[in-house]
Structure 1
Amino acid sequence: GDLEITGRFEPDDAPVMGETITLGIDMSRACLFDPATRALL
């Protein structure tokens, strides 16, 4: 399926538009938002 993820990258490590990357997510530092209300979950 299609997913949209917003992330922060160091300038030297930023992916190029359309590039496929592998992500590791530290859930202890993740912020999740409701897309309809933009409320922090």
Structure 2
Amino acid sequence: MIGSSGVDHEFENYGQPVLEYLGMSQIDLADLRDDLIDMGLVTL
């Protein structure tokens, strides 16, 4: 997983309500984040 544990923890806390709203799994969210990082839209 890309990023430090601090970043991942913060991301998970922020992402949980989004997960529930979208009905996405944690894996889907992680894949989405990795895609955004690959496209250069998210930096760590």
Classify the TM-score, shorter chain: under 0.3
Question: Between Structure 1 and Structure 2, which shows a larger proportion of helix residues?
Answer: 2
Query: Given the two structures, how large is their TM-score scaled by the length of structure 1?
Result: 0.26
Which protein shows a greater Rg?
1
The structure, 1 or 2, with the larger RCO (C-alpha pairs under 8 Å, 6+ apart) is 2
